[in-house]
Structures are given as structure tokens and as C-alpha cells.
Amino acid sequence: MIGSIDVARVVIPEVFRNFTNGDGTADVSAKDARSVLKALDAQYPGLAKALTEQCLIAIDGNIYPKAMLQPVLEESEVFFVFKIAGG
């Protein structure tokens, strides 16, 4: 934890690692989904846009199609999953 903000471990999908110089994970200070994206974009310009165009955010195993305020806790594991929809 950094101050009152938690540090989340974000796993970068392999196909987006051209934004991260090959880094597979990023530790970001974030309290919710939108601040994860903001922190990622500060670290890796353009990554957040690419992720939101193609992906949904998954926090601790739960996939959120329209996540903004979903909380990210200390030691949360964050993934990005390609957009899906059902029938």
C-alpha cells in the first residue's frame, strides 16, 4: 500500500506488450478500475486506449463490461479480457 492507495498487480496480455517494452505485469497504485487505466496510461502511453477498445477489465476473477468504480484492493489481480457478449 502506498499511503491510502492500494497497489494492484496488472497482468498485461501478451499482445499488448508492445506498449510495455515486453513487460508482462505492472504494479499500479489504484483504488478502482478507472484509476488502473489512468495509471497504466501514465506509465505506458496509448495502452489504456488500446485496452479499452478491445478488452474488458477483470478484477480478482470477476469480469466487468463497464467497469469504472469497481474497487481494486491491495494485492488485487487485474487482467484484461477480450470483449465478449452472449446470446
Partner 1 sequence: MSEPTDYKWIGTRPVRPDGVDKVIGRAQFGADKNLPGTLCGKVLRSPHAHALICGIDCRQAIQLDGVKAIITGDDFPVASIGTASGESPVDFIDMSRNVMARDKVLYHGHAVAAVAATTPEIANAALDLIDVDYEALPHVLDVLEAMSDDAPLLHKDQYTSGVDPRPEKPSNVASVRKLAGGDLEAGFAAADVIVERELRTAMVHQGYIEPHAVLASGGKGDQFTLWCCTQGHFMVRTYCAALLGLPESQIKVIPSEIGGGFGGKTTVYLEPLAILLAERSGRPVKLVMSREEVFQASGPAPGSVLRLKVGATKDGKLTAVKAWLAYEAGAFKGAMVAAGASCMFAPYEIDNFLIEALEVCVNKPKVAAYRAPCAPNAAFASESVIDELAARLEIDPIEFRMRNAVREGVNGVHGPKFKRIGYIETLEAARNSEHFCSPLPAGHGRGIASGFWFNYGGNSSAAVSINEDGTAAVVVGTPDIGGSRASMALMAAEVLGIDVAKIRPIVADTDSIGYNELTGGSRVTMATGAAVIKAAEDVVDQLRQRAALIWDVAVEEVVWRDGCVIGIDGAEDKGSLTLQALAQQALTTGGPFTSQVALDMSGREGVGFSTHVVDVAVDEETGKVDIIRYTAVQDAGKAIHPSYVEGQMQGGVAQGVGWALNEEYIYDENGVLENPGFLDYRMPVALDLPMIETIIVEVPNPDHPYGVRGVGEVPIVPPLAAVANAIASATNVRMNETPMSPPRLLAALQERDR
Q: Where are the alpha helices (DSSP H) in 1-87?
A: 33-43, 47-54
Q: How many residues belong to the site for partner 1 (CB under 8 A)?
A: 28
Scan residues 13-42 and list those touching partner 1 (CB under 8 A).
Answer: 13-15, 18
Q: How many Cβ atoms are within 10 Å of 22's Cβ, its own excluded?
A: 9
One residue of 20, 38, 41, 63 binding partner 1 per CB under 8 A = 63
Minimum Å gap between C-beta 31 and partner 1 is 17
Report whether 37 contacts 52 (CB < 8 A). Answer: yes
- Rounded Cα distance between 55 and 42, Å, is 18
- Is 58 an interacting residue with respect to partner 1 (CB under 8 A)? yes
Q: Could you list the residues that contact partner 1 (CB under 8 A)?
A: 11, 13-15, 18, 53-54, 58-67, 70, 77, 79-87
